[in-house]
């Protein structure tokens, strides 16, 4: 009986998570997230999994509300109208909010999960299992093929936090019950922290003493930036600030939106109070300002304050700026630039390198082994990690064979490869190179990769646009963009030479644009050492 698993995104990368499952009666999907480019360039917003060749799924099951798991969902709903989505309550609120601002109308069905319910889709059974993570309402998903007794536990983002106060503990009891009903089991687990030297992931509650020390210090205003989706961190910051007689301001669209979504889902404890800017007195009140944009993005509130460009808050030596987060790979330079700008304003900075003020949401080796011992899989596939992480995770799990399952099979699979549970075989997709993530820009529109190449060429070498009158009287205009000419060839002299090339190649009522383009590029290469993009248009 059919039971196949194909990652569409989320392996060989951290982000763009999406898993396709094939059962005896069709297909289902778990998650559909975005991937941010390694650098900000050419106005690219984000990338999404290439789902253009997958069959229509019966359902899509959402594990939690992080952007790398729900960010591409609107695009999937546009591709498959009337898609049936099942999501945790907090994620469902975030999805509804996102869909309201999508530039095109979407048709979909959004169902909030019932924890004790087993969902049937494509002839497979789906059960949600509560886990710990850095955003509320996070789950692993257990999939069972009821006719064969085979099952898989998909848990891309988790940690094991027995000290958790603001969320339930990882539901190992339910997981063990599901495992006990299987003849054969597969574990697909988080690889994010497999290379970390910290084997046991820190609990959010262990950060409270550090926050207490900071908020009870002599700083007049404490600015804290963290991931806006980390509601539990935000609650701990607010509560410890209130205990230190500080008023708390949420500053930035993202922190306000996530906090409101948490309020809507009754995730904020009673007694929590935050203030608007016009409700506090900066001269007399002790303040904690929770700032959005902890990755230093160009338009973020964090960056605006750091660069002294904010209209309301100006940093000084009596303040303190707390970075309660770690950089996402690729964002290190942006964050460092912000911290340097803060230092230039003589404002003290505290980071996770100075004291315990950040906890990862992902499993260390101790957490992974706890999961392994509770599920005891027959097959293991690492997910949610770059290629190096997946290989390292596989090798580490193989060291557990003798301790848990001497017959354990491990496999590393890549995006668009398929693992056949029945055959215990991985089929490589030979067309995987043609299924690279889709690039999204502007109004949630797909951006052709050839256009990226052209933008890169223009940014590297500039653009020359030549417009020629095709009639008998030769008239033309020359426009240059992004080209620096040497002092020996000013604009007039350069235009004069290009005009001669045009006249030399021009014949009445004939299009010689290609020859003109070649000669102009050759000429410009001689004087500037680069070949810009040259566009020749006849009118």
**Distance set, CA 356 to CA 87, 215, 233, 273 (Å):** 33, 14, 13, 25
What pLDDT, in 10s, does the model give residues 421-468? 999 999 988 887 778 888 888 888 887 777 778 888 888 888 999 888
> Where is average pLDDT lowest: 103-107, 170-174, 205-209, 454-458?
454-458
CA angle 524, 525, 526 (to 5 degrees): 90
Per-residue model confidence (pLDDT) at position 153: 99
pLDDT at 508 > cutoff 70: no
| Dist. CA 86–CA 74, nearest whole Å | 14
**Distance set, CA 51 to CA 9, 66, 248, 347 (Å):** 9, 19, 43, 47
* Tokens read off for 144: 């069972």
Higher pLDDT, 452 or 108: 108
| Dist. CA 62–CA 19, nearest whole Å | 11
191 contacts 389 by C-beta, under 8 angstroms: yes
Give the closest residue to 302 by CA, choosing from 252, 233, 358: 252
23 contacts 2 by C-beta, under 8 angstroms: yes
pLDDT at 473 > cutoff 60: no
**Domains along the sequence of the chain with CATH:** 4-198+360-447 (3.60.15.10), 204-351 (3.40.50.10710), 461-538 (3.10.20.580)
Give the closest residue to 409 by CA, choosing from 400, 418, 417: 400
Length of the chain: 539
Please report the DSSP string for 334-358 in residue order: HHHHHHHHHHHTT--EEETTTSS--
Per-residue model confidence (pLDDT) at position 472: 52
| Dist. CA 239–CA 212, nearest whole Å | 10
| Dist. CA 98–CA 87, nearest whole Å | 14
User: Containing H/E element for 189?
Assistant: strand 184-190
Q: How confident is the model at residue 39 (pLDDT cuts 50, 70, 90)?
A: low
Checking 331-334 for CB contacts under 8 A at 24+ apart, the result is: 331/295, 331/296, 331/297, 334/295, 334/296, 334/297, 334/298, 334/303
What pLDDT, in 10s, does the model give residues 252-270? 999 999 999 999 999 999 9
Reduced to 3 states, what is the DSSP secondary structure of residue 109?
strand
Average confidence (pLDDT) over 60-73: 98
Residues of the chain with pLDDT > 70, as a percent, come to 97
Q: How confident is the model at residue 41 (pLDDT cuts 50, 70, 90)?
A: low
Higher pLDDT, 506 or 133: 133
pLDDT at 196 > cutoff 70: yes
* Tokens read off for 302: 């964090």
Q: How confident is the model at residue 181 (pLDDT cuts 50, 70, 90)?
A: very high
pLDDT at 420 > cutoff 70: yes
pLDDT at 313 > cutoff 80: yes
| Dist. CA 72–CA 101, nearest whole Å | 13
List the beta bridge partners of residue 85: 60, 110
What contacts 524, CB < 8 A, 6 or more positions away?
464, 483, 494, 530, 531, 532, 534
Reduced to 3 states, what is the DSSP secondary structure of residue 178?
helix
What pLDDT, in 10s, does the model give residues 134-150? 999 999 999 999 999 99
Q: How many CA atoms lie within 13 A of 148 on its CB side?
A: 19
Three-state SS annotation for 472-490 = CCCCEEEEEECCCCCCCCC
**Distance set, CA 257 to CA 68, 279, 529 (Å):** 18, 19, 50
| Dist. CA 264–CA 76, nearest whole Å | 26
Higher pLDDT, 329 or 181: 181
Residues of the chain with pLDDT > 90, as a percent, come to 76
CB atoms inside a 10 Å sphere around CB 124: 27
Higher pLDDT, 5 or 531: 5
31 contacts 70 by C-beta, under 8 angstroms: yes
- Strand-pair category, 4-9 with 418-420: antiparallel
Category of 5 on φ-ψ map: left (φ > 0), alpha (ψ -120 to 50) or beta: beta
What contacts 326, CB < 8 A, 6 or more positions away?
352, 358, 360
């Amino acid at each position: 009986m059919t039971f196949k698993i194909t990652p569409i995104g989320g392996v060989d990368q951290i982000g763009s998570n999406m898993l396709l499952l094939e059962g005896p009666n069709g297909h289902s999907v778990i998650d559909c997230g975005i991937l941010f480019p390694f650098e900000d360039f050419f106005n690219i917003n984000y990338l999404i999994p290439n789902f253009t060749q997958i069959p229509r799924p019966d359902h899509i099951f959402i594990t939690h509300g992080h952007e790398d798991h729900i960010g591409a969902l609107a695009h999937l709903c546009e591709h498959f109208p009337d898609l049936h989505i099942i999501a945790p309550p907090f994620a469902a609120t975030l999805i509804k909010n996102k869909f309201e601002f999508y530039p095109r109308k979407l048709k979909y069905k959004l169902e909030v999960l019932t924890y004790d319910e087993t969902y049937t889709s494509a002839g497979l059974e789906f059960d949600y299992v509560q886990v710990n993570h850095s955003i509320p309402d996070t789950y692993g998903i257990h999939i069972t093929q009821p006719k064969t007794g085979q099952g898989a536990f998909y848990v891309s983002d988790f940690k094991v936090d027995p000290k958790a106060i603001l969320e339930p503990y990882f539901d190992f009891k339910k997981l063990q019950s599901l495992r006990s009903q299987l003849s054969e089991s597969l574990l697909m687990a988080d690889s994010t922290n497999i290379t970390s030297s910290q084997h046991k992931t820190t609990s959010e509650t262990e950060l409270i003493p550090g926050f207490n020390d900071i908020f009870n210090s002599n700083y007049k205003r404490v600015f804290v930036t963290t991931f806006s989706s980390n509601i539990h961190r935000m609650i701990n910051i607010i509560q410890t600030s209130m205990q230190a007689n500080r008023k708390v301001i949420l500053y930035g669209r993202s922190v306000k939106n996530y906090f409101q979504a948490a309020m809507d889902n009754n995730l904020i404890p009673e007694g929590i109070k935050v203030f608007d800017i016009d409700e506090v007195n900066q001269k007399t009140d002790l303040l904690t300002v929770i700032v959005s944009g902890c990755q230093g993005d160009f338009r973020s509130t964090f960056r605006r304050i750091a660069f002294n460009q904010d209209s309301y808050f100006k940093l000084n030596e009596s303040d303190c700026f707390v970075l309660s987060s770690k950089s996402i790979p690729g964002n290190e330079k942006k964050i460092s630039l912000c911290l340097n700008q803060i230092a230039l304003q003589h404002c003290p900075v505290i980071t996770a390198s100075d004291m315990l003020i950040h906890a990862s949401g992902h499993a260390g080796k101790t957490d992974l082994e706890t999961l392994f011992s509770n599920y005891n899989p027959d097959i293991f596939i690492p997910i949610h990690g770059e290629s190096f992480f997946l290989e390292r995770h596989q090798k580490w799990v193989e060291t557990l064979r003798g301790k848990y399952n001497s017959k354990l099979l491990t496999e590393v699979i890549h995006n668009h490869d398929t693992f056949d549970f029945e055959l215990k075989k991985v089929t490589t997709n030979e067309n995987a190179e043609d299924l690279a993530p889709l690039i999204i820009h502007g109004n949630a529109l797909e951006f052709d990769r050839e256009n990226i190449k052209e933008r890169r060429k223009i940014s590297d070498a500039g653009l020359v646009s030549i417009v020629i009158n095709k009639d008998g009287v030769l008239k033309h205009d020359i426009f240059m963009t992004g080209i620096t000419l040497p002092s020996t060839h000013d604009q007039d002299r350069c235009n004069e030479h290009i005009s001669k090339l045009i006249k030399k190649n021009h014949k009445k009522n004939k299009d010689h644009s290609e020859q003109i383009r070649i000669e102009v590029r050759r000429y410009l290469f001689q004087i500037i050492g680069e070949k810009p993009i040259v566009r020749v248009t006849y009118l």
